[in-house]
Chain A
Amino acid sequence: MGDAFGAIRAVARAELRVGWRATLLMALVFGLVAGIVLGGIGLAGRTATAYPRLVDAVHLDDARALVAADQPQLAAAVPSLPAVAQARTDEAWIAQLDGPALRFVSIGAPTTEHEALVDPVIIDGRAPARDAPDEIIVSEPLAQSSGLGVGATVTLGMLTLDQVSRFDVGFGPPAGPTTTVRVVGIARMPSWGGALANVQAGPAFAAKFLPDIVGYSIYVRFTPDADAAQRFGAAFARTAAVVDQISPSVVSQYLPHSVELPSATVDPSVRAAEQVLVGGLILFVVVLALGGLQVLGQSMLRHHSARGGTQGVESALGMRASERTAARALAAVGAAVVAGIVAGGVALASGWLEPLGSQARFEPTPGFRPVWALVVLGGIGTAVVFLLVVAAAAAIAGRRRAAVVPPVRAAAINPFRRWPAAVLGMRLAIHGRVGRGGVPAVATVVAASLAMAGVVAAVAFGASLQRLVDTPARYGQAADLTIVDAREPDVARLVADPRVAALDVGAAGSAELADGDAVEVASRDVRKGHMPIAVAGGRMPAAPDEVAVGPRLASRLGVDVGDTLEVRRVHGGTVVLRIVGKAVLTSQNQGGIGDGVVVTPDVMRAITPGQPLYDAAVLAVPGTADALFAELSQGLEVFQREVPTAVGNLADLVTLPELLALVLAVVAGAGLVHALLTSGRRHAREVAVLSVLGATPGQVRATLAVMAATTVLPALVIGVPLGLGAARVLWWQLATATGVAGDLAVPGRLLVVIVPAVLAGALLLSLAPAARAARTPPAVALATG
Chain B
Amino acid sequence: MAVSASYEATARAGDAPLPDAVPETAPGPGAPPPELVVRGLRKTYEAETAPVRALRGVDLTVGHGEFVALMGPSGSGKSTLLHLLAGLDRADEGSVTLAGVRTEELGAARLARLRRRHVGLVFQFFHLIDHMSALENVALAALVAGAKPAEATERARDLLDTLGLLEKQGERPAALSGGQRQRVAIARALANRPTLLLADEPTGALDSDGAAEVLDLFTRLHRDGQTILMVTHSADVAGGAQRIVRIRDGVLLDADTSGEPS
Chain A residues at the B interface, C-beta cutoff of 8 Å: 405-410, 412-413, 415-418, 420, 423-424, 427, 431, 434-435, 685-686, 688-699, 774-780, 782-784
Contact = CB atoms under 8 A, between A and B. Distances in A.
21 contacts: A407-B171, A407-B175, A408-B172, A409-B175, A410-B132, A413-B133, A415-B153, A416-B143, A416-B152, A423-B143, A427-B132, A689-B129, A690-B144, A691-B112, A694-B141, A694-B144, A695-B112, A696-B108, A775-B3, A775-B8, A777-B83
B197 to A, nearest CB: 13
B252 interface: no
Nearest to A412: B170
A773 to B, nearest CB: 10
Contacts of A686: 129
A575 to B, nearest CB: 73
B104 interface: no
A433 to B, nearest CB: 10
A777 B123 contact: no
A305 to B, nearest CB: 14
B117 A694 contact: yes
A413 B12 CA distance: 37
A409, A689, A693, A783 — most chain B CB neighbours (10 Å)? A693
B152 to A, nearest CB: 6
Nearest to A435: B130
B221 interface: no
Interface residues on B, range: 35 or more
The 5 closest A-B pairs by CB, nearest first: A694-B116, A407-B175, A405-B174, A779-B83, A431-B131
A406 B171 CA distance: 12
B62 interface: no
A423 B133 CA distance: 13
B116, B123, B140 — most chain A CB neighbours (10 Å)? B140
B88 interface: yes
Contacts of A406: 174-175
A775 B144 contact: no
Contacts of B127: 685, 688-689, 692, 782
Given A405-B175, A415-B149, A689-B127, 11 more contacts: A406-B174, A409-B175, A413-B136, A420-B144, A423-B143, A427-B132, A686-B129, A692-B88, A696-B112, A782-B88, A782-B127
B4 interface: yes
B109 interface: yes
Contacts of A416: 136, 139, 143, 149, 152-153
A424, A692, A784 — most chain B CB neighbours (10 Å)? A692
Contact of A694 (B83, B115, B175): B115
B8 A696 contact: no
A747 B128 CA distance: 47
Interface of B: 1, 3-4, 7-8, 11-12, 80, 83, 86, 88-90, 108-109, 112-113, 115-117, 119, 121, 123, 127-133, 135-136, 139-141, 143-145, 148-149, 152-153, 169-172, 174-175, 188, 192
Contact of B11 (A407, A688, A697, A780): A697
Nearest to B7: A777
Contacts of B188: 693
B157 to A, nearest CB: 10
Contacts of B141: 693-694
A434 B172 CA distance: 12
A775 B4 CA distance: 9
Contacts of A435: 130
Contact of A779 (B88, B131, B133, B152): B88
Contact of A774 (B11, B123, B129, B192): B11
Contacts of A408: 171-172, 174-175
A694 B113 contact: yes
Contacts of A776: 3
Contacts of B140: 420, 424, 690, 693
Nearest to B80: A779
A405 B173 CA distance: 10
A694 B145 contact: yes
A409 B88 contact: no
A697 B112 contact: yes
Contact of B170 (A413, A417, A693): A413
Contacts of A685: 127
A538 B161 CA distance: 74
A406 to B, nearest CB: 8
Contact of B144 (A434, A695, A697, A784): A695
Nearest to B118: A694
A413 to B, nearest CB: 6
B89, B90, B131, B175 — most chain A CB neighbours (10 Å)? B131
A417 B148 CA distance: 9
B170 A409 contact: yes
Contacts of B80: 779
